[in-house]
Amino acid sequence: MKIGLFGIGSGPCSEPEVARAVAQAAEAAGFESLWTGEHVVLPDPQAPPSPAPPEFPMLHPSTILSYLAGVTDRVLLGTGIVLLPQRNPVVLAKELASLDVVSGGRLLFGLGVGYLEAEFNALGVPFEARGARADEYLEAMKALWTQEKPAFKGRFVSFEGVQARPRPVQKPHPPIIVGGMSSAAYRRATTRGNGWYGFALDVDGTAAAMTGLREAAKRVERPAELAALEISVTPRVRVDRDSVKRLEDLGVHRIVSLMSGRDRSSLLRFVDALAEETTYS
């Protein structure tokens, strides 16, 4: 089982020195990866389904992960997740290629379609058709990363006669990990993803998601070049030996644990405790 940590760019880890200390401690303890979340803005006042108070700090994923790339050597750096329909895919392709380059090929590209309509409205991005927009944006980004003469013509983005260098270190591109628990997300992961990511799930919720992924695999064809789908989960429950074993039995390959702590000292204690609890796996 691979073990990662979620929340490296938010809350107390939005302070650069705290994020640096936690990242270096996680790498020293042998954790596989560090993951950010993303919300450009949060509704004020908070109202469902907003996940956090409006004052909750969240650093831009590419910014904090690029910073951490410079102060770590081995730990993987994951976006958990980038809200793809809210982004310009040509700019995002450049951002993520740059991050993969400066990190020496350590990027895990997690993406999702988003769910906060107020956030889309603030960005001037239509909330409807966000799934179709995400699918198209992802294909456009892959064209920029892999084609000798990048060209793409779609409903939402088109380009030709351009180059975007440097390209990612990882070939053909960084691993694409699709987040979400909808049938569309399961289909997207099956047809376009190297992996799937479920957030804040208990064991029963993970089992239901695995069923959803199996059902999607019956309905759509998975391209052979994608190989087996890697499953990542951020558990709602405490990560301990029992929960690791139960999730592993369901077919989970990576646990991305929510970090717990209000300051540098308590976060470092959490990293130490989690490492001790999970080193057996």
User: What pLDDT score was predicted for residue 238?
Assistant: 85
Does residue 200 lie in a domain region?
A: no
CA distance 216 to 187: 5
User: What pLDDT score was predicted for residue 280?
Assistant: 52
Supply φ then ψ for residue 180, to 5 degrees: 130, 155
Per-residue pLDDT of the chain (281 residues; tens, 9 = 90+): 999 999 999 999 999 999 999 999 999 999 999 999 999 999 999 999 999 999 999 999 999 999 999 999 999 999 999 999 999 999 999 999 999 999 999 999 999 999 999 999 999 999 999 999 999 999 999 999 999 999 999 999 999 999 999 999 999 999 999 999 999 999 999 999 999 999 999 999 999 999 999 999 999 999 999 999 999 999 998 899 999 999 999 999 999 999 999 999 999 999 999 999 997 54
Does residue 264 lie in a domain region?
A: yes
Q: Are 227 and 235 in contact (CB under 8 A)?
A: no
User: What pLDDT score was predicted for residue 40?
Assistant: 97
Q: Which CATH number is 11's domain given?
A: 3.20.20.30
Does residue 12 lie in a domain region?
A: yes
Distances (CA, A) of 191 to 72, 91, 124, 249: 33, 24, 29, 24
Residues 6+ apart with CB under 8 A from 24: 71, 72
CA distance 87 to 77: 19
Number of folded domains in the chain? 1
Does residue 40 lie in a domain region?
A: yes
Tokens of 19: 């994020």
Does residue 70 lie in a domain region?
A: yes
Does residue 38 lie in a domain region?
A: yes
Q: Which residues constitute the domain of residue 64? A: 2-174+236-242+258-278
CA distance 81 to 275: 24
User: What pLDDT score was predicted for residue 279?
Assistant: 75
CA distance 258 to 5: 6
User: What pLDDT score was predicted for residue 281?
Assistant: 44
**Among all chains, which residue has been given the structure tokens 């108070």?**
53
